[in-house]
Every structure is written in C-alpha cells, then in structure tokens.
Amino acid sequence: MCVLLLLVVQGCAAVHYMDDQVTGNWYLREDLHEEGACEFEARVAEHPDSSVTQYYLGRFLLALDRPEQAKDHLREAVRLNPDSAQYRYWLGVAHWALDDSENERKAYEQALELDPDYISARVYLGHNLMDSGDTRGALTQYNLVLSQAPGQPDALYNKAAALTILGEDYQAVQAWKTYLGYYPEGSMAREAALNLNRSGNFSYRTQVIGVRQMVLEWITFETGTAVLSEQALPNLDAVGSVMASNQRFQLTINSFKEGNQDLAQARAQSVRNYILENHAEVSPDRILIEAHGRAERISVGNKTFALGESIVFHTTQ
C-alpha cells in the first residue's frame, strides 16, 4: 500500500512538472508574457518548492523587464535544482539585466561546468568578457562556440570585432568576410562591411539600390577581360530583383579600371547586359553606364583608398 501511494505521488509530481513545461513553453512561444506571469504566480503560490514553476515565473518577469523579481525566482529555481545548466544561464541573464557583471559571469561559468556544450551560455560569457575588457578571453569563448556551431551569428560577428580590437588585422579581415559569407543582409551586415572597408578591404561594400542599402560582394571578372565571374552573378541577380520590384528609379553602373577605359566600358556593358538578359521586367532605359580609366577613390572615416578596378552602382530616383 505504501509503495502504491509513493508511485501515485511520484506520478502526480511528474504530471505537474510536464504540465508546467508545456504551459510555460506555450506562453513563451506565443509572447504572452503578462498572461504567463499571472498564470505562474498562481502556480508558484500553490507549489513554491517546484523549480520549474519558479523558473518559468522568472522567465516571464525577465521578459516584462522586471529583472530584480526575475532574479529572485530564478535563484530559487537554481537552489531547488542546482544541476540545471539552463536555470543558471537564465539567472546570468537576469544579472546582466541588472548590470551585475560579476555575478552574471559566475552564472554562465557554472552553467558551462554543468554543460560545456551549452552554446548560449558560452556566447553570453564571451559578451560578458568583451564588455569587461577581457577581449582575448572573449575571443577564446567565441572560438569555442564556432568549433561547435560554425555559423553561430553572434560568435562570428564578435570574433571579428575582438580581432579588430586586438589589432590582428589579417585575421579580422578573414573573420568579417566569413560573417558576411553567412549573413550578407541587415544592419549587422552593413556594420560588418564598414569594418571591413575601414581596413582597406572592399571585398564587400554597402551600395544603395533604389531605396535599399545592400551589402554586395565585389563584382569580379575573369582576369584582364570583361567576362563576369560566376561569383559575381548572385549579386547582380539581387540588384536585378530589386530593380524589377521597384520600377521608380534608374541605375548607373560606374566602372573603374585604372589605365584602361575601354576595358572599364566593356565591363560596365557586361554588367548591364547580364541584368537585362536575366530580368526581363527591367527596361533598358533604366540602366546607364559610365566608364572611367582611373582608380576609384573612396573615403572611409578619415582614410582615403584608391581602388584600381571596381563596379559601383548609383541610384537616381
């Protein structure tokens, strides 16, 4: 009879745990943070010794920008279940929200002691070290993340930023290019391209096409010719797609080739022909060309660079 009663109690506890998990995850997934907080405040009142109810209440309070209260519940979740790396990680996030860098770092380190493969904890440990001025330590953490998840965006971006701060210019350039190879769109991509350009590397640069700021890879040709390389085609297709979807602007293709205006002209024509041939919605009168037998001069910050050859797009509304 005692054994049967124990099994019933354990079964009820398991059902309660699973119900909390399902309910908590649903509220988080649906971004119903206020409703989730109300629900789990009631559950915590009923089951104060449940680590999972304490955890979810802490998560909802954190999402509602109430980090002091969130910290208390997440700390209680850790006390009740000290072997949970997840609980320690989110306690670290609460400390971050409270600008408590030391305890934030301790929480991430404790999470990683429990689970060395916890990528989010390692990424945030890297951020914490970076913010604290330990750039080399942060770089170590980002490299560890990338050994597990080569495309992790925060680690890729911040690895490049760390290398830039450390003055390791060659490695920084490679890291910025790697980031842009994975993530060529958005504000972070534009910032990454700008950091690349500041170093004098223009393998990626931001260009305005219509009303869009697009990070485009260097438009390349077969050596000494006007034959477009395969690498250039996806970028030209992206330009053509924007032109097709927005008919209200003209595009000028500026082609620079130091000492060879004829080749500059032929290259501009190749770019124009490719866009027109592959994007029938773009009318020929919308694409103009200008050829220059000189280097392009481009200023980035307080530096000016001369590019012996380049393709640059200019928009006219």
Q: Which residues contact 297 (CB under 8 A, 6 or more apart)?
A: 304, 305, 306, 307
Tell me the whole-structure pTM to 2 decimals.
0.87
Q: How confident is the model at residue 317 (pLDDT cuts 50, 70, 90)?
A: confident
| pLDDT tens per residue across span 92-138 | 999 999 999 999 999 999 999 999 999 999 999 999 999 999 999 99
| pLDDT tens per residue across span 192-244 | 999 999 999 999 999 999 999 999 999 999 999 999 999 999 999 999 999 99
Percent of the chain with pLDDT over 90: 93
The whole-number pLDDT of residue 18 equals 55
| pLDDT tens per residue across span 21-77 | 999 999 999 999 999 999 999 999 999 999 999 999 999 999 999 999 999 999 999
CA 243/CA 251 separation, integer angstroms: 8
Contacts 24+ apart (CB under 8 A), 97-100: 97/62, 97/65, 97/67, 97/70, 98/67, 98/68, 98/71
Q: How many helices and strands in the chain, by DSSP H and E?
A: 13, 7
Q: Classify 1-99 by CATH class.
A: mainly alpha
* Both tokens assigned to 209: 């096409």
Average pLDDT, the chain: 93
- 204-316: CATH topology is 60s Ribosomal Protein L30; Chain: A; (3.30.1330)
AA letter at 19: D
**Closest by Cα among 47, 98, 100 to 76:** 47
**Closest by Cα among 189, 243, 195 to 216:** 189
Strand partners, 299: 304
Confirm if 67 and 75 have CB atoms less than 8 A apart. no
Q: Is the pLDDT of residue 4 over 90?
A: no
Domain locations in the chain as residue ranges:
1-99, 204-316
Q: How confident is the model at residue 271 (pLDDT cuts 50, 70, 90)?
A: very high
Q: How confident is the model at residue 19 (pLDDT cuts 50, 70, 90)?
A: confident
Q: Is the pLDDT of residue 274 over 90?
A: yes
Q: Is 13 helix (H, G, I), strand (E, B) or coil?
A: helix
